Amino acid sequence: MLYTPPMLDEADDIHPLFHGAPKTTEFKKLRKRIVQNMREAVEHYGMVEPGARWLVCLSGGKDSYTLLAILYELQWRGLLPVDLLACNLDQGQPGFPATVLPAFLEKMGVPHRIEYQDTYSVVVDKVPQGRTYCALCSRLRRGHLYRIAREEGCSAVVLGHHRDDILETFFMNLFHGGRLATMPPKLVNEEGDLFVYRPLAHVAEADCEKFARAMGYPIIPCDLCGSQDGLQRQQVKAILDQWEKNSPGRRQVMFRALTNIRPSHMLDPKLFDFAGLLRATAEIEENPPEIPSLR
């Protein structure tokens, strides 16, 4: 198990993001678990380049607040030798509280960039009535974030997707895409000049929810996709919730399966050479030993 230095709670010993943290044993265990899970992902998937600069993407949701706080926790403890720049992309959604994140980041002393791009109007105009906005919205957002990362000299774009997002994406691809795939914890963008990291890959959504609310962070809901009924992701989430209710711990077991793949026990000939598979006796049959002649 990874060693995590003790997390102190005096104002002089912690980052402002942790000021006012609950003193309860339950919260301390939660915080320690999230820190350990994130450290595990960062180290296991080789995310750290000492001296690098990361663009940490904030939506104002529970996951992105947790991401930001724990990254600063690791940096504060000397466990993450990178420079962090928080970024919020204001996509022009009606009613979006544009002052909340800038005020919060200023108060916390977090270096940040707020970018306004009205992708909302583009999405509403281009997506037919009744269809989900998520795919186009995500592509437009990602393009702007890549541009901002380049402008700011960042080598990586850091996203707040957690364990449950990864599981839901896996089952969406399974049920609707006909493929076994999900969100990887680390990838290189198509242009090849930026990493995309998901340090919360091992963290449960429920832990993000408990942490952000316990800290009292000003959570901003996503009203764009959240307002649409019948989303495939919501349907998959409901299935996983029911499975978890019937068998507590099943989500973690399924997630562990994603880290323990056996290509020879699947059906993809591009990953395993089934045609070239030989029996142990095949070579003997093709090249039988010479029979010694009788004298």
Cα atoms in the Cβ-side hemisphere of radius 13 Å centred on 88: 25
In the chain, what are the helix, strand and coil shares in percent, each to the nearest 5? 45, 10, 45
Instruction: Give the integer Cα–Cα distance in Å for 73 and 168.
Output: 28
The set of residues, in sequence order, having a beta carbon less than 8 Å from that of 29 and lying 6+ positions away, is: none
The domains of the chain, with CATH numbers, are 11-261 (3.40.50.620)
Q: Along the 295 residues of the chain, how does pLDDT read in single tens digits?
A: 554 544 445 545 678 899 889 999 999 999 999 999 999 999 999 999 989 999 999 999 999 999 999 999 999 889 999 999 999 998 888 888 889 999 999 999 999 999 998 888 888 877 877 677 777 888 888 999 999 999 999 999 999 999 999 999 999 999 989 999 999 999 999 999 999 999 999 999 999 999 999 999 999 886 655 444 447 888 899 999 999 999 999 999 999 999 999 999 999 999 999 999 998 875 556 666 676 666 5
Residue tagged 């711990």 (tokens): 249
Q: Which two tokens stand for residue 73?
A: 């926790």
Q: What pLDDT score does 127 carry?
A: 80
Token pair listed for 77 = 């403890």
pLDDT of res. 148: 97
- CA neighbor of 180 nearest in space, from 190, 188, 170: 170
Q: Residue 280's pLDDT is what? A: 83
- Six-digit token pair at 23? 């003193």
The region that residue 39 occupies, defined by phi over 0 for left and psi between -120 and 50 for alpha, beta otherwise, is alpha
pLDDT recorded at residue 288 = 65
User: Residue 291 and residue 295: Cα distance in Å, rounded?
Assistant: 12
